[in-house]
Structure 1
Amino acid sequence: MGKGLTVTEIIEGANSGSIKAIYVMGENLMLSDPDILHVAEALEKLELFVVQDIFLTETGEFADVILPGACFAEKEGTFTNTDRRVQRVRKAVNAPGSALEDWKIICILSNKMGYPMNYNNTAEIMDEIASLTPIYGGINYERLERRALQWPCRKYGDPGTSILHTKNFTRGKGRFIPVKYAPPAEVVSEKYPYILTTGRILHQFHTMTMTGKVKGLNEIAPSNLVQINTDDARSLGIKNRDRVKVESRRGAV
């Protein structure tokens, strides 16, 4: 198998017609992707668009089929942190209505499409991961019930690896990769004289698809904000906490 496409390349493929169908799980393309007008145009051209999520998102509005998934509190599984720490996630409440865990939905679809996929629980899926991925070889639910483990954890009894590369790298010496300069796709102009860099706010996560449903967080941070250089703001007649319209060649917010 060759290298797969990036998200932006997939959108380009949908626009050109080389990609006919897209299946999205837990991703809000209509907020997270660049140039959402271009994304909307691509989604409209698809022959089939399937969205699997826990809420009806802006992306879900374009879907031909919506598959209701379960949130983290409604399913069993594991969560792996950025520090490679694999922890058990335990179901706290039942999923509403016809919502199902992601793995169950995938199994149903796979069986319907002629590829047998039958698991009894997430522990069996974890065992399959361990059998195919050496760095997970020593991780199973029995061990995770007692404590979290950090991969690489290659065999049963291996305590895991708290710090990577203390003695060597897996591929030998460190490999340095030079960064090639890529000029910006768009530059400032008289009509659009400013550069916008997107960032994050403390109390909301990414596109607010989930945290935006939390009353307490919305009381603190109900919307995003734009930070402007004080000299630029003064020249534009903008004061602190004013509502502003930010416009580019691609659209406005």
Structure 2
Amino acid sequence: MSFGSGSMTNSISEIKDCKLIFLIGGNPTEAHPIVGLEMKKALRKGCTFIVADPRRIWFAQHAKLYLPLKPGTDNWLLNAMAHVILEEGLENKEFIKTRTEDFENFREFVKDITPEKAAEFTGVPAEDIRQAARLYAKSEKSAIYYTLGITEHTCGTDNVRCIANLALLTGHVGKSSTGVNPIRGQNNVQGATDMCLPDKLPGYQLFSDEKVVEKFEKNWGVTLNKKPGNTAPTMLERMNKGEFKALYVIGEDPIMSEPNQEYPIKGLKNLELLV
């Protein structure tokens, strides 16, 4: 299962109307105050919160269910929730039949990931895992929100896939105030990627698709350059080769963002202009 790009499936304005919010690996009141404010609106309107985080964040204090899992055990928790949903017949069968692929492989994968086994790794009681699964599956409008606490792991990609699988399993996607919603970690990542990426046009439509390019050329009344732009790693590589002469940086620290700090420092020194 799994789907899509690293972007929110739903808008921030929909948060206040969620019936259930599953917040995992994030602290919106401190790190994303605008989103946090919208979540507080939802809370005041009676939204149920499930919070999974090693820290007892503000929303954990107001949650119906707080799951203080051990760091790095998110996929155990999420897959165990999927196990419960399938075990108790809480999956959205029609959605799975018409909108997903490889469901039987997924069912086979999670069949032995019981809440009891997950509890050994996560430190979260098995019954709490079961309750979380039931609440999420049964709610009319359930939305998942996560941040870097999910992605910044060696298993970050698997964590995100587990989240996507939960949404697909229950059909909590493609409707208002539901979905899979990463709250992005760097300056304007969401807005920038919604608008355009080096290899994608607005709406995450592929530059490599001729029909997509033709559509945008027709609507914009221009002829587009068919050559994809440079990604951040490519830009660093070209700076180190002396192929970039100028760089304009907005709301970003290339040195602190890269795992090997000497690499961007060397590249930046090659520039003739740095703003």
Same fold (TM over 0.5): no
Q: Under a length normalisation based on structure 1, what TM-score does the superposition of the two structures give?
A: 0.32
The structure showing larger relative contact order (alpha-carbon pairs under 8 Å, at least 6 residues apart) is: 2
Q: Under a length normalisation based on structure 2, what TM-score does the superposition of the two structures give?
A: 0.30
- When you count helix as a share of all residues, which structure comes out higher? 2
Higher Rg: 1
